[in-house]
């Protein structure tokens, strides 16, 4: 049980360190403090998950730093790409976008990050893991267990609230029908900021962008519906014209018959 507690606490530690790193990057880019991550608390779970995967999958490569570097790059790249793809599908929103950077794949991962993943992988496996595990093993198992239970409960509450909030993004993007992705994204931002509170924090936390594919599908549906409506109106108009023309010709023929008589 102590080993499970240690793994969970390592997850929390790396999630918190990842959050700190994200905040520092945002501070450098935006010149202001931003609470990064979709959770309310100061953690970014993707970092915790990534580090745990390294612990489970990359220990066998500890004797070869170069192979470990490459494997860390592959593992973290897959995790970031898959997470970005999954969140886009679930919430119809893009949470980060590297399209403006060179050597990116669908805007979800880029070369700069890949190199950073490799370096961080070496740091985690050779320095941080031995340090944190060494300290945690010295702590009483019951204390670790009690702390883990408290943090699990807190994390579940945080996840529940956060998922409820970001699920609202889908409803907002569905209500928009403009044929311009940038305008739609900006309108989504405005609506979320109007809601205030945690919605506003989420928009600030991420490089939020309404999912272009979803919006394009929505636009195509609107265009299709509009085309069908135009076709129906056109048919009705032609029928009306034919009906009026027919009635007019009938009256003309009746008038001609009366004149002949």
How many Å apart are CA 73 and CA 71, to the nearest integer? Answer: 5
pLDDT mean across residues, the chain: 79
Res 217 pLDDT > 80 = no
Res 58 pLDDT > 50 = yes
Most confident of 53-67, 82-96, 190-204, 245-259: 53-67
- pLDDT higher for 243 or 124? 124
Q: How confident is the model at residue 39 (pLDDT cuts 50, 70, 90)?
A: confident
- The reported pLDDT for the residue numbered 239 is 82
Among 1-10, 48-57, 159-168, 209-218, where is mean pLDDT lowest? 209-218
Res 122 pLDDT > 60 = yes
- Among residues 203, 210, 149, 130, the alpha carbon closest in space to that of 177 is found at 210
Summarised one tens digit per residue, pLDDT across range 171-191 is 655 555 554 444 545 555 565
Q: What is the mean pLDDT of residues 96-119?
A: 83
- The reported pLDDT for the residue numbered 224 is 78
- The reported pLDDT for the residue numbered 179 is 46
Three-state SS letters, the chain: CHHHHHHHHHHHHHHHHHHHHHHHHHHHHHCCCCCCCCCCCCCCHHHHHHHHHHHHHCHHHCCCHHHHHHHHHHHHHHHHHHHHHHHHHHHCEECCCCCCCCCEECCCEEHHHHHHHHHHHHHHHHHHHHHHHHHHHCCCHHHHHHHHHHHHHHHHHHHHHHHHHHHHHHHHHHCCCCCCHHHHHHHHHHHHHHHCHHHHHHHHHCCCEECHHHHHHHHHHHHHHHHHHHHHHHHHHHHHHHHHHHHHHHHHHHHHHHHHC
- Structure tokens given for 142: 């019951």
Q: Can you say whether the dihedral through the CA atoms of 52, 57, 61, 67 is positive or negative?
A: negative
- The reported pLDDT for the residue numbered 181 is 46
How many Å apart are CA 72 and CA 51, to the nearest integer? Answer: 9
Query: Cα(first)–Cα(last) distance of the chain, in Å?
Result: 112
Res 45 pLDDT > 60 = yes
Summarised one tens digit per residue, pLDDT across range 72-106 is 999 999 998 998 888 777 766 666 778 877 788 88
Res 29 pLDDT > 50 = yes
Q: Report the share of the chain in percent with pLDDT over 70.
A: 72
């Amino acid at each position: 049980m102590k080993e499970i507690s240690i793994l969970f606490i390592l997850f929390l530690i790396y999630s918190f360190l990842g959050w700190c790193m994200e905040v520092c990057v945002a501070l450098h880019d935006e010149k202001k403090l931003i609470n990064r991550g979709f959770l309310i608390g100061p953690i970014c779970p993707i970092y915790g998950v990534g580090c745990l995967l390294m612990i489970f999958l990359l220990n066998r490569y500890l004797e070869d730093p170069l192979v470990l570097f490459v494997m860390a790059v592959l593992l973290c790249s897959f995790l970031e790409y898959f997470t970005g793809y999954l969140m886009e599908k679930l919430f119809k929103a893009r949470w980060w976008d590297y399209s403006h950077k060179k050597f990116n794949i669908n805007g979800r991962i880029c070369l700069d990050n890949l190199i950073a993943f490799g370096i961080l992988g070496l740091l985690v496996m050779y320095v941080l893991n031995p340090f944190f595990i060494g300290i945690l093993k010295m702590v009483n198992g019951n204390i670790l267990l009690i702390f883990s239970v408290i943090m699990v409960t807190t994390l579940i509450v945080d996840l529940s609230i956060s998922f409820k909030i970001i699920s609202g993004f889908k409803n907002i993007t569905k209500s928009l029908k403009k044929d311009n992705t940038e305008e739609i994204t900006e309108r989504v931002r405005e609506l979320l900021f109007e809601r205030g509170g945690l919605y506003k924090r989420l928009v600030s936390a991420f490089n939020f962008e309404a999912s272009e594919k979803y919006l394009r599908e929505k636009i195509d549906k609107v265009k299709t519906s509009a085309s069908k409506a135009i076709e129906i109106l056109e048919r009705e108009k032609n029928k009306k014209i034919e009906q009026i023309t027919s009635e007019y010709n009938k009256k003309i023929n009746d008038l001609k018959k009366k004149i002949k008589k």
